[in-house]
Amino acid sequence: MILLREIREQDLEALESFSQIPGFINLPNDRDLLMEKIQRAKNSFGQAAPLIQDSKYLFVAEDLENKKILGTSMIAGQHGTVESPHFYFEVGSEERYSSTISTGFIHGTLKLKYETDGPSEIGGLVLDPELRNSEARIGRQISFVRFLFLGLNRERFKKKILAELLPPLNKRGQSPLWEAIGRRFTNMDYWEADQLSQKSKDFILSLFPSGKIYTAFLSAEARNSIGKVGKETEPVVHMLNKIGFTYRGHVDPFDGGPHLLSKVEDVLPVKKIQKLKLNCQETASLYSPSQFGLICNLEQAPGEFRSVMVQAAIHEDRIQLTEPNQAMVCSVLGLGSDTQVAFMPFY
């Protein structure tokens, strides 16, 4: 069984191992910074009404049998404040025509913009590479638990939710757009600039070009990376599109990866969350066909958040677990007959 829960101090070593996986920029390979992230998450979970702009929630997927952390994910209460704006390139176009030579062109453009009252953000999804596409669907579990928490705690978040996705990198692990623009205006490596931006973003506004950038001046490799994702990220885009996220012409100013956005109220898993009472006694003859989803105890202690994937059937305001390990589920989540639970089906 995989337990999805809030991060704790004892998970530091697991985060350290994840931070050494190439390509995962959300987890710095720095023990002190990782502990700061854990403490910030602990404070966010523990406060009844944390400041949205200061909150960040980290979740882990724990294999209860082996006591091993298999993955992690995150929700930031707000991405884009006065102190740390949300920067992006707005992708546009400009039409030019000359009647003299009867020739016209449509030029692609990029324009640096920023928000100081930005949306909430999902991100930080890291999974042990050996577990991708596993039958246990661990990646889906650690990804979707964010929507369950989000739906049950809407007052902790903004009305819109953002997902920033990585673009395809070249064979040297570089971002073509960064090499074409970012390096030329900052004289920094991509990874160096990204780590610096987590501490301060002042250099972006100070050094990046403020006017339109015509993509015709960029290399074909850089142009073709704008708003695109790598093959390994395509399933993520498909999943996000399916549940309500859309691309609106905003890309990361460092690497050109697409920004997908949705209103929280329009995210399909959030809309489908049901609050029910657990039935541990009646037969399931009147219940709907069983379905997979995430369940959590609505009566758990403050500062705790625990959820597991179950197979369950629903009838009116009652839910019944229809799997052989239901006793273990009840034990892990502290469930009993008539316990108030929340259930979010998978899609």
CA 193 – CA 302 distance, rounded (Å) = 38
Answer whether 294's CB lies under 8 Å from 144's CB.
Answer: yes
Answer whether 269's CB lies under 8 Å from 316's CB.
Answer: no
- What pLDDT, in 10s, does the model give residues 148-162? 999 999 999 999 999
The predicted structure's pLDDT at residue 325? 79
Give, for 329, the enclosing helix (H) or strand (E). helix 326-333
The predicted structure's pLDDT at residue 114? 95
pLDDT bin (cut points 50, 70, 90) of residue 168 is: confident
Higher pLDDT, 44 or 289: 44
Beta bridge mates, 306: 5
CA 328 – CA 142 distance, rounded (Å) = 19
DSSP 277-305: EE-SSS-STTSPPPEEEEEEETTPPTT--
The predicted structure's pLDDT at residue 212? 94
pLDDT bin (cut points 50, 70, 90) of residue 284 is: low
Higher pLDDT, 302 or 143: 143
Mean pLDDT, residues 138-142 taken together: 91
The predicted structure's pLDDT at residue 21? 72
**Mean predicted lDDT score pLDDT of the chain:** 90
CA 196 – CA 222 distance, rounded (Å) = 23
pLDDT bin (cut points 50, 70, 90) of residue 40 is: very high
Tokens of 156: 């902790």
Q: Looking at the domain covering 2-86+114-268, what would its CATH class be?
A: alpha beta
pLDDT bin (cut points 50, 70, 90) of residue 133 is: low
- What pLDDT, in 10s, does the model give residues 54-79? 999 999 999 999 899 999 999 999 99
Mean pLDDT, residues 35-52 taken together: 91
pLDDT > 90 fraction of the chain, expressed in percent and rounded: 63
Task: Please give the single-letter amino acid code of residue 20.
Answer: Q
